[in-house]
Amino acid sequence: MILTTKFSIGDVVYAAYGCELNTEAAGPLTIGMVRAELTDSPGTDPDTMFDNYKPHQRSQDNSYMCVETGIGSGNNYAEDRLFSTREGAQAKLDAVVAKYISDRAEKGS
């Protein structure tokens, strides 16, 4: 089995993290740690009432820590929020902020 990730250690990325007050993509950041988590189990008894014995669909979640925000004790970045260009990160951040503002307006807060 081969695990693949979007980025590798040493890659320079831009992060789409923010809120209505922070609307600038972060970066450049340097990948310093990659974490790949694989979930896969054929299960031992599909008819059991215990979830940990049932089959699990294979999934892989990748996350990253960057040198500039701390390795081991800094920010943990989800793969879908990191981009190789500032423009890609900014477009994602703009969409996230617009949804956040829209959701707050619908709730009336």
Tell me what pLDDT residue 84 has.
97
| Sequence-distant (≥ 6) Cβ neighbours of residue 109 within 8 angstroms | none
Contact in structure between 53 and 44 (CB atoms under 8 Å): yes
Which one, of 5, 7, 20, 6, lies nearest residue 94 by Cα?
20
Q: 40-86 pLDDT, tens per residue?
A: 877 777 777 777 777 777 889 999 999 998 898 888 999 999 999 99
Q: How confident is the model at residue 12 (pLDDT cuts 50, 70, 90)?
A: very high
Which sequence spans correspond to the domains of the chain? 12-107
Confidence (pTM): 0.75
